[in-house]
Amino acid sequence: MKIPILDLRAQYKTIKKDINDAIKTVISETSFIGGIHVAELEKNIALFCGTKYAVALNSGTDALYLALWALGIGKGDEVITSPFSFFATAEVIAKLGAKPVFVDIDPATFNINPHLIESAITKKTKAIIPVHLFGLAAEMNLINKIAKKYNLFVIEDACQAIGATYNGKKAGNLGDIGAFSFFPSKNLGAYGDGGIATTNNEELAIKMRMLRNHGSKIKYYNDVIGVSSRLDGLQAAILNVKLPHLTKWNKLRNKVAITYNKHLKNISWIKTPEVNPNHVFHQYTVRITNGMRDEVRKYLAVKGIQTMVYYPNPLHLLKALSYLRYKKGAFPEAEKACEEVLSLPIYPELSQKSILLVKKAISSCVYK
C-alpha cells in the first residue's frame, strides 16, 4: 500500500457534487475574472479571519508582495523575517529593493525566535514578517510588542496557516496585513494558483486592490503602477465551496498529529512536534535526530511512504540571496532544522490504518 504525503482526490470525492456544480455555474455565467464569486470569497475570508477586509490575489507570493508594496516598503528598507521558510517570504522583500534581514528560529516551534528580533533592528528596519510555519502561529504577542516599540509594520506570512489561532484570534488578524496562499496543497487549496491578503486597515485594502489591477480603481484610469494579480472566478467559486469545511478539516489534521505523536513518542531518534488545538498542521514535521534523515526518507520511500523535506536549505544560504553575504553558521537553528526535518503524510482523510502503517515502517527502519 502506498501512502502519499497528500491526497487531493480523497478530499475531492467528499465534495465532488458541490465543486462540479460551482464550476458549471461559473462557466454558465462566464464570470471568469472578478465578479460575484471573488467578491463573495473576500467577504467569506474576512469573516472567517475576523478582519474587516480581504483582497483576493493570484498567489500567496503576491499577497506578501502587495502587502509590502502597499506599506511603502522599498529601496533602502530592511525587513526582518525567518530564514526557515519557503523562498517567497524573502524573495518579495528583495523584489521590492529592500533587504531581507534574517533572525534565527526557535527550535521547538520552527518559527522566528522573538527574543532575537530586537538585536536585528536598525534605523532602516521597516517591518517584520513572522511566518506561521507548518500551521502554527508565531509568538505574535512579543512580535507585536517589539513592532510597536520600534514603529514597525507586521505582515503575517500565514500562507500555511489558514484557520490557525493565537490567543483566540485567527491568523491573518494578528498584524497589519495577513498573507494566505491557496496553492492546491494548502489546508484551503484552490484548483490552481490563488492567494488573499487580509487587513483591518481600509487604506491598505484600497491600495492592494489598486495594485492588483494595474494601479486602477476605475478601468482605464490608472493612477499608479501596479501589476495583474487577480484571482479568477473559478478558483473563488471552488474556495467558497471548500471554506465551510475548513474548520472540520483542520481539526482532523490536528487529530492525525495527535495520533502520530502517540505512536512515535517512544522512538528515540525522532522528535515529534508539540500538538495544541491552535495548530492546523499544514505539515506534520518531525526531526530525525540520528543524522540519517535522508537515509530514513529513502527507506520509507521503498516502503511506499512518501515524505518531504520542508526545507532542505535555509534562505540565507540560497544562491539567489548570496549578495546578502550571510555565512554558514549564521543561523544555527535554521541550518540544523534543514538537516533534520522530515514531513510525514498528513491530510484530513488520512486513515488510522495508514498512520499505523507509517509508524510500522518507521519502527522497522534500519537507520537508527
- Positions touching ligand PLP (CB under 6 A) are 59-61, 85-86, 88-89, 131, 157, 159-160, 181, 183, 193, 195
CB 361 → ligand PLP: shortest distance, Å? 27
Please give the residue whose beta carbon sits closest to ligand PLP in the complex: 60
Q: What share of the chain is helix, strand, coil (3-state, %, to 5)?
A: 45, 15, 40
In the complex with ligand PLP, the residue whose CB is nearer, 184 or 290, is 184
**Smaller CB separation from ligand PLP, 85 or 259:** 85
CB of 153 to ligand PLP, least distance (A): 17
**Least distance to ligand PLP, CB of residue 275, Å:** 20
Cα-trace Rg, the chain: 21
Q: CB-wise, 129 or 270, nearer to ligand PLP?
A: 129
Phi/psi zone of residue 174: left (φ > 0), alpha (ψ -120 to 50 degrees), beta? alpha
Minimum distance between the CB of residue 239 and ligand PLP, rounded to whole angstroms? 13
DSSP state at residue 50: T
Question: Whose Cβ is closer to ligand PLP: residue 62's or residue 333's?
Answer: 62
Q: Which three cell numbers stand for residue 132?
A: 506561521
Closest approach, Cβ 217 to ligand PLP, in A, equals: 25
C-alpha dist (Å) from residue 172 to 52, 63, 113, 142 = 11, 11, 19, 16
The kind and range of the H/E element at 100 are strand 99-102
CB atoms closer than 10 angstroms to residue 184 = 15
Q: Which three cell numbers stand for residue 327?
A: 555565512
User: Among residues 181 and 259, whose Cβ is nearest to ligand PLP?
Assistant: 181
How many angstroms from the chain centroid is the CA of residue 135?
7
